[in-house]
A and B are shown apart, each in its own frame.
Chain A
Amino acid sequence: MDLTAVISMAIMGVLFAAGLALAHQKLKLEEDDRIEQVDELLPGADCGACGYAGCEAMARALVDGEVVPQKCPVADDATYQKIADLLNLSSDSSSSDLVARVLCRGGKEEAKQLAAYRGINTCAAANLVNTGGKACTYGCLGLADCVAACKFDALEMNDNGLPVVNDDNCTGCNACVIACPRDIIELHEREQKLFVWCLSEDDPATSRKSCTVACIGCGICAKLCDGVEMKEPNLAVVSETNAPDCDQGVEKCPTDAIDYK
């Protein structure tokens, strides 16, 4: 009697196990095993810059052919190549190489301080409290939300209270752009060197008072150089991305707002 119990249970166990193993095989086969391989090739930061929920979701989309590897702004060319080889894609569509640029040079020394902010130590919070301590309402708040958002150690605060981009580490993932409540971080072509390092649209008198390196909208750079124009009445902007040079404008700018990197 005991033996029948043992045997019948053993047989049932083995049968169920076999059934499950079979079902596992059947259901697993449908799952493309390239998904896992692509997932391993991707950077694995799950930063979401591609627009998918994470690297695994991106891997799925890649295998399904919904997206090209270059959609991942973080991976390098070698990785694109490996993924393209794996999925038999043509890899000629090269990525646009974007890096973050902080368009404010008004640090502690240059920008006038109206008040001292003592609150939650983030730019997002400071921005809510009467737009922070600086007189300029366009400039960097200096509380390093962007540094915290960066997953690749590409940003750090300098002694002047401004974030500095380390081009070698920057992957153009857009995380700092989203994190900045003042929207002063933008993604630009890695080659572009010339920028107007200010986004202030204040009138010239106010700009001059609040910051020594503000763009006061005199327009001299726009007059002297192609590829630089007045975006707002009081603000010039480098409009051409293919790296124009503007030595005269840089020299003549009364506040050094336009400059090479």
Chain B
Amino acid sequence: MELILLFLSAVLVNNFVLTYFLGICPFLNISNRLDSAFSLGMATTFVMTMTAAVSWLINNFILIPYQLQYLEYVAFILVIASLVQLVEMFIQRISPSLYEALGIFLPLITTNCAILGMALFASMRGYSFIQTIIYGFGAGTGFTLAILIMAGIRERLELADVPQPFKGAPITLLIAGILALAFMGFAGLLAV
């Protein structure tokens, strides 16, 4: 039960994109088509879950025993970069077309601050191994949810009569703000 709450909290209440405003760059850039948004969300979720597991192991078996916590940024970035490389190789092999569609945003998952943020939050809050994995998975799912909602809205928006000055980036930023407001409504849902 506690794990389910933790998961829901990461997805809805403390959504990384819409509450913490982390990972805004891919959120705004890969959200113009639903299918590529979903693929990027999946890739990010995978990287987040794996990062959560590996960074917990590193944190608890290397950094804490040797009192090297001040190195956690470096260590976590190392983990994330390696995992993204792995995912990149995988996607390139399994689906070249998806690889083309994601383009530069695939390697840029490395610099998606939502992932580093997730790893740092998890170590800061002293989650257990299982908790950390659930948290990472929830954070990834939350990111996917946010980017999917955004992509859905933007696909419909292409047919809408947007006033000239609001076309493109302005309307996208406005939507992001309204979405964030809407997600505030989840704040009372859980007390985690």
Chain A residues with CB under 8 Å of chain B are 1, 4-5, 8-9, 12-13, 16, 19-20, 23-24, 27, 30-31
Whether the pair B89, A16 counts as a contact (CB closer than 8 A) is no
Whether the pair B85, A20 counts as a contact (CB closer than 8 A) is yes
Q: Main secondary structure on chain B at its contact with chain A?
A: helix
Name the 6 nearest CB pairs between A and B, nearest first: A16-B82, A27-B89, A4-B66, A27-B93, A20-B85, A5-B68
Which B68-94 residues have a C-beta within 8 angstroms of A? 68, 71, 74-75, 78-79, 82, 85-86, 89-90, 92-93
Which B20-74 residues have a C-beta within 8 angstroms of A? 58, 62-63, 66-68, 71, 74
B115 to chain A, nearest CB (A): 16
A31 surroundings in chain B (CB, below 8 A): 93
For A12, give its contact among B58, B86, B89 (CB under 8 Å): B58
A-B contact pairs, 16 of them (CB 8 A): A5-B66, A5-B68, A5-B71, A8-B62, A8-B63, A9-B78, A12-B78, A13-B78, A16-B78, A20-B86, A23-B86, A23-B89, A27-B89, A27-B90, A27-B92, A30-B93
CA of A4 to CA of B75 in the docked complex: distance in angstroms?
14
For A9, give its contact among B67, B75, B85, B92 (CB under 8 Å): B75
- Chain B interface residue count, Cβ-Cβ cutoff 8 angstroms: 18
Whether the pair A12, B67 counts as a contact (CB closer than 8 A) is no
Tally of contacts, chain A with chain B, CB under 8 A? 37
CA of A5 to CA of B92 in the docked complex: distance in angstroms?
35
CA of A20 to CA of B90 in the docked complex: distance in angstroms?
11
Whether the pair B82, A4 counts as a contact (CB closer than 8 A) is no
B93 surroundings in chain A (CB, below 8 A): 27, 30-31
B75 surroundings in chain A (CB, below 8 A): 9, 12
Of all chain B residues, the one with the shortest Cβ separation from A7 is B66
A13-B78, A16-B78, A31-B93 known; A1+B67 contact, CB < 8 A? yes
- A sample of 14 more A-B contacts (CB under 8 A), given A23-B86, A27-B92, is A4-B68, A8-B63, A8-B68, A9-B71, A9-B78, A12-B62, A16-B79, A16-B82, A19-B86, A20-B82, A20-B85, A20-B86, A23-B89, A24-B89
